[in-house]
Amino acid sequence: MRLLSNARILRPTDTAIYVAGAVAATLMVSAVTPALAQSLVPIGAMAQTSTTVPIINSFDISYVDPATSSYVLGDRTQQAVDLFNTQTLQETFLVGKGAFTGATGNNNTSGPDGVMIVNSNEIWAGDGNSTLKVFSMGGTTR
C-alpha cells in the first residue's frame, strides 16, 4: 500500500477556492453563533463530589447516552473514564481506573482518547497504546 496513493496536487486556483470556501463558512458560523448562544439554557453543572480526587487537568472526548441518563468523560488525569448520572448531575464511578496510559504529554499516546456508550450497557474507550477497552455498565448508571 502506498501512503500517498490518494494524494493529489493542488493548483493555486484550487487552493484559492478552498480558502474562499473556508472563509465563507467561518463568516456564516460567526453570524449564527450569537443567536444560537442566546437560545442555549444551562440546566445544571456536574461536579466531582469526592474531595480526594485531583482536579481534572487532562481529558479527551466525552459522550452522552440519553437512554441511560449517563455522561462519560475520558479522564486522563485519573487514567479512567468518569461516569456521571445526568439526572442527579453527580459522578457515579471511575471506570477502569489505572487501566489507561493517562496524560503522557503527547496527545498521540495519552489515554483514554475517546469514549462512547454502546447499546446502553457498555463503555468503549480507546487508549494511547492503540487498544480498545470495553467495560460493562451492569446497571451502574442509575
List, in sequence order, every residue forming a beta bridge with 72; answer none if it has no partner. Answer: 63, 83
Segment (H or E) for 92: strand 90-95
Averaged confidence pLDDT in the chain:
73
Express each pLDDT in 121-137 by its tens digit.
999 999 999 999 999 98
Q: Which residue has the higher pLDDT, 2 or 64?
A: 64
Instruction: Please give the average per-residue pLDDT across 45-66, as a whole number.
Output: 71
Handedness of CA 17, 18, 21, 26 (dihedral sign): negative
Grid cell listed for 66: 440519553
Residues 6+ positions from 71 with CB-CB distance below 8 Å: 46, 62, 63, 64, 65, 83, 84, 85, 86
pLDDT of residue 99: 92
> Where do the domains of the chain lie?
9-41, 59-136
End-to-end CA distance of the chain: 48
- The neighbour count for residue 47, using CB atoms within 10 Å, is 10
pLDDT level of residue 25 (50, 70, 90 thresholds): low
What is the distance between the alpha carbons of residues 43 and 112, in angstroms, rounded to a whole number? 27
pLDDT of residue 24: 52
pLDDT of residue 128: 92
Grid cell listed for 108: 498521540
- Is pLDDT of 55 > 60? yes
Instruction: Please give the average per-residue pLDDT across 2-23, as a whole number.
Output: 47
Alpha helical stretches, state H, 3-119: 12-39
pLDDT of residue 67: 92
Express each pLDDT in 75-98 by its tens digit.
999 999 999 998 988 888 889 999
Express each pLDDT in 28-38 by its tens digit.
555 555 554 55
The fraction of the chain above a pLDDT of 70, given in percent, is 59
